[in-house]
Amino acid sequence: MKNASIGAFDSGLGGLTVVSQIHNYLPNESIVYFGDTGRVPYGSRSNETIIRYAKQDINFLKSNNVKLIVAACGTVSSVASSAADGLDVPYVEVVTPASKMAAECTKNGKIGVIGTAATIASNSYKNKILSINDAFTVYQYACPLFVPFVESGFVSPDDELVIGIVKRYVEPLIKDGVDTLILGCTHYPILAPAIQKVLGDGVKLINTGEAAAIEIKRILTENDMLADKAGESHFFVSDTTQTFIKTSEVLLGKTLDFDVKKIDIEKY
């Protein structure tokens, strides 16, 4: 199993930011990535629908004999933990590692969380942070327009339109006095330069993908499951591959040099 792939899934393409961090921390690991581009977004759907979709996504990854599965999606991590019940491989979600990182970073105990409507409504980050230290104060805001902005390529901190929507959502955090902000959707790190520009350098941004990658490295190391040779990564989507290729260039900052395949996720 050492050289088996890590399985990662997301409602769309934001999970590629997690893939990027895994490659940074674990360059020898191969990855099977599934982006459910045909049913994106998950963040505005009911919990029951999100759980059903997540189970199908996990089943697809299991069919590829992966050694670990990561829910590279803030929404799934927040409301669909039951989808991983009975898994026979380690499962990593992004809420727990990001919450721990935020708790370690904050100096004034005021932590902000931004995410999809489903993520914020679940209180997953708030509950996890307060379970670590109930003296902390957590401020949460839904940012529903961030995902379509990112997937449309509107991400530049020099774009007035981008800065305008970022201000609309995150300026309340300045009044709240947070010194740490969890980017609670895996799309949001792409907007990190714009968010940092609005909030200022005094606020530490927590990249959920980085936190998850560190957790994955810990699990694989402790279980002697680190790959001992470089592998290949494979990418799958549930809708047109052309959109994936274009958006991946925005999310990963480079052009993919491998194939992307479309699958029928309803079979799983």
Alpha carbon of 115 to those of 17, 107, 221: distances in Å? 15, 22, 30
Ordered by where they begin, the domains of the chain are: 6-93+210-267 (3.40.50.1860), 95-208 (3.40.50.1860)
Q: Are 219 and 26 within 8 A, CB to CB?
A: no
- Residue 240 in 3-state DSSP? coil
Q: Which of 32, 40, 185, 205 is catalytic?
A: 185
Looking at every residue in the chain, the average pLDDT score rounds to 93
Q: Is 185 a catalytic residue?
A: yes
- Which of 48, 102, 57 lies closest to 79 in space, CA to CA? 48
pLDDT for 256 equals: 66
One-letter amino acid of 57: D
pLDDT for 99 equals: 98
Q: Is 73 a catalytic residue?
A: yes
pLDDT for 211 equals: 97
pLDDT for 151 equals: 78
Q: Which residues of the chain have pLDDT under 70?
A: 250-258
- Which of 135, 110, 126, 105 lies closest to 206 in space, CA to CA? 105
pLDDT for 150 equals: 86
Q: Which of 73, 94, 182, 198 is catalytic?
A: 73
Angle, CA 191 vertex, CA 26 and CA 75 arms, to 5°: 70
pLDDT for 242 equals: 80
Structure tokens at 127: 């509950």
Count of beta carbons in the 10 Å neighbourhood of residue 130: 17
Q: Are 98 and 65 within 8 A, CB to CB?
A: no
Q: Are 230 and 27 within 8 A, CB to CB?
A: yes
Structure tokens at 191: 């907007």
- Which of 203, 187, 202, 103 lies closest to 146 in space, CA to CA? 187
